[in-house]
Structure 1
């Protein structure tokens, strides 16, 4: 006989507790823990009685108790169904894992960023939020056409499992784009398509981190999601300070095996890594057998002078894994990133991806490949670079004019955010309070510090605020900065 419930029931008498009470308690626990979901029909009392060798009246008594408590709903001529028991009706205590089972587990709740619900139904948009690109100028009609074209109506093979490393057409398109936009030296065989940059970080951590042993140097301040991926893999993070030339290479020690950097537009300070530091970092990696993870998250949007070469372009010893993403150049929900990996590392990364996420969405990958190869990405980047340049100029003008008594802009040649230092760090608290009210979404650099070291002269010590300009027009930036200036004068 098939079991009537998808979970075991223990109906033997214990401590004077009758079978009706035990059945009632175990079914109630199953409802509260989600094993019996709202709307589920309970089996007939006669069937339960027969299956467990108990009296039918025992089952009826347990069901009646559950109905009286509101856990079951009755319908004339139909089976009882599980009610929708909301948290407001009953508080459920979450059981913690026993200590012996927690010793070798990752505390994901501690690692993951908290996602707080908005305080009201219509929260004010975070206009100066970091890392959010403009969506209003995206060529949606083109994207829609390419998505429809990618639907596999006449391609039976497309209904199967695609290659783990990504669609060949997209890998070729990414190699072309990376070579054109950032002079990255690669072909399609060097590219691994990932579900955003975060999966790229996760794969690199899984493959190259030995739990409890591998030391990973990270920029401080730096990018929290990378740190999360490395910590989850069991890495020992080594915070390295950042100054106006980028990561301080002379702070690296010979036992470091991975170095993570954002050389084009350091996150969050925005400073570009100097050419001297780039060569010094490559020499460190060559000499010590270290892997460099180069995160070029928004390097397509560059302004002014000729951009410095990517580390991957300068690399002659296969020490750089170059990570790119389309979250900034297109939109975050696309969830496509990539690794241009050294030849010796690529097969291991593909194997690790296959074990955890065998393949991505074929239709989206094919549509993106066509979007790149038909020139739409290059046109979109050129168009958005003009919009972002105007916003950047408006922000720089504000820092040089009405906000000059409080801020000094940090030089940045790329990206969709700017950082500004406090001129008098003794006023940091007052300035930050007003900034949070009048430049919603801007974040203090101190939010991204891994190590709370004593304050130093550089922005790396947390003496500044980062302002995103991906989703706010130039005139709105100017108006907001004027309001901020007036508020600081009054405060």
Structure 2
């Protein structure tokens, strides 16, 4: 095979030969043995050289074509593309749930959609931030322009009335939760959703709080299940993470009423509240109970974690306590990201970005739901945000699906890891994100995901068996 490095396939490895072949070709590209523009052998030629069925080589090429790593030119051949991935996937053993996966395409939730981010607007924002003079002294509350921009953003996009003085800049949601927890007495009990956001659980425990899991159903956090003697409750009412449901109006009213009656804070994480696709969102908890609710937002999911900024709207007593602690310890969120977001908001680029983002994500969501349905599964969750939930039968099936996808270059996240240990509740499934890849990468990944779901243990439909000679890749 002229120009192709030696390729070794292990017939006893338990990994399909086509997967091994695709992995080996990616590794060859990463190591420089294959370069953009190189012509690959025909499927028939490669099959003969490796002494495998042409079905194996055709399936491997199909996978690389779907990922955008290779491209076929009719009548000419199949070539390595210039946009080859920089971090190809090497053959891996079955992954443990929650383990780091060297993924080519990331279908885990929690990343922004950078494909719709206007690079020119991004550069303008940073230039505008750089035109401002450097700070002489720190400001514990945050950049005044940022606080004004956030108050206007909240009013326009979330219906929350809050003046600039009500807003504190933060380093993101988890950091803000940790700050609030540091104002509580050591060992204070804080209730969190189960399943829920584990980084917040870590921030709470790091601050010395006792974390208490509370179940979630189709209407959100089960308020009646909240125990007594709480100091705070953390929740994601606009789009529960990771189940993807919104808290009902009745639950919102009940939660605020209990907070007032029992004297604890409600930490409202509105991490992607701007991304709703069907009807207007329900009133924020912050609008229903400004005296007991701490409203939290972040730029990480709607723009980029590069900015490293978020915001907090809190009742005055708590706000004063947080400011005093920042002054005493010298801690404060960095100003650069605040100034960039301010510039994006003032120029109108942020509003335009959000409109593009909503259009893109709703289209992606439709593609994901269709692919999951075609594989005999369901995609649950409200029409909002950038992830859906795909329920699976049990933890064994969840682990197997994640492992098989990893072997084919797709990173998936299991629902199991989002439960607190010892909580007594456990659901299995995939928390399926669709914002991180490019649109082309997503479509290729969905084709692979569909195969993996059809092949999942216990699925009566099972995968379709290919013909011995298989479809040929143009060569």
TM-score (ref. length: structure 1)? 0.68
Between structure 1 and structure 2, the one with the greater Rg is 1
Partners of 1:350 and 1:304 lie apart in 2 by: 38
Q: By how many angstroms is 1:441 displaced?
A: 2.6
> Does the alignment pair 1:403 with 2:359?
no
Partners of 2:453 and 2:397 lie apart in 1 by: 14
Is the Cα–Cα contact under 8 Å of residues 128 and 439 in structure 1 kept in the other structure? no
Is the Cα–Cα contact under 8 Å of residues 409 and 418 in structure 1 kept in the other structure? yes
Name structure 2 gaps, 5 residues minimum: 1-97, 457-461, 465-475
Q: By how many angstroms is 1:168 displaced?
A: 0.8
Name structure 1 gaps, 5 residues minimum: 1-113, 456-460
Q: How many residues align?
A: 359
Q: For residues 274-304 of structure 1, what are the alpha-carbon distances to aligned partners after superposition, in whole Å with 9 as ceiling and x for unaligned?
A: 1111111111101101100000111111111
Partners of 2:262 and 2:292 lie apart in 1 by: 10
**Given the superposition, is the C-alpha separation of residues 391 and 482 from structure 1 closer, same or farther in structure 2, using an over 3 Å criterion?**
same
Correspondence for 1:138: 117
Aligned counterpart for 2:245 among listed residues 268, 271, 279: 271
Correspondence for 1:210: 185
Q: By how many angstroms is 1:125 displaced?
A: 2.5
> Does the alignment pair 1:328 with 2:318?
no
Is the Cα–Cα contact under 8 Å of residues 375 and 454 in structure 2 kept in the other structure? no
Partners of 1:454 and 1:152 lie apart in 2 by: 54
Q: By how many angstroms is 1:228 displaced?
A: 1.1
> Does the alignment pair 1:199 with 2:164?
no
Partners of 1:124 and 1:423 lie apart in 2 by: 25
**Cα RMSD, aligned residues only:** 2.4
Please list every run of at least 4 consecutive aligned residues from structure 1 whose deviation after the TM superposition is greater than 3 angstroms. Answer: 355-364, 423-439, 451-455, 485-488
Correspondence for 2:36: none
Is the Cα–Cα contact under 8 Å of residues 213 and 423 in structure 2 kept in the other structure? no
Q: By how many angstroms is 1:357 displaced?
A: 4.3
> Does the alignment pair 1:451 with 2:406?
no
Partners of 1:230 and 1:361 lie apart in 2 by: 22
**Given the superposition, is the C-alpha separation of residues 276 and 392 from structure 1 closer, same or farther in structure 2, using an over 3 Å criterion?**
same
Helix, strand or coil at the partner of 2:274: coil
**Given the superposition, is the C-alpha separation of residues 436 and 299 from structure 1 closer, same or farther in structure 2, using an over 3 Å criterion?**
farther
Q: By how many angstroms is 1:486 displaced?
A: 4.4
**Given the superposition, is the C-alpha separation of residues 344 and 442 from structure 1 closer, same or farther in structure 2, using an over 3 Å criterion?**
same
Q: By how many angstroms is 1:224 displaced?
A: 1.1
Is the Cα–Cα contact under 8 Å of residues 439 and 484 in structure 1 kept in the other structure? no
Aligned counterpart for 2:165 among listed residues 189, 193, 202: 189
Q: For residues 203-254 of structure 1, what are the alpha-carbon distances to aligned partners after superposition, in whole Å with 9 as ceiling and x for unaligned?
A: 11111x2112x11001011111111111112111110011111111111122
**Given the superposition, is the C-alpha separation of residues 115 and 361 from structure 1 closer, same or farther in structure 2, using an over 3 Å criterion?**
farther
Q: For residues 380-401 of structure 1, what are the alpha-carbon distances to aligned partners after superposition, in whole Å with 9 as ceiling and x for unaligned?
A: 011011111111111111233x
**Given the superposition, is the C-alpha separation of residues 249 and 437 from structure 1 closer, same or farther in structure 2, using an over 3 Å criterion?**
farther
Aligned counterpart for 1:313 among listed residues 287, 292, 300: 287
- Which of the pair has the greater relative contact order for Cα pairs under 8 Å at 6+ separation? 2
Q: By how many angstroms is 1:355 displaced?
A: 3.3
Correspondence for 1:148: 127
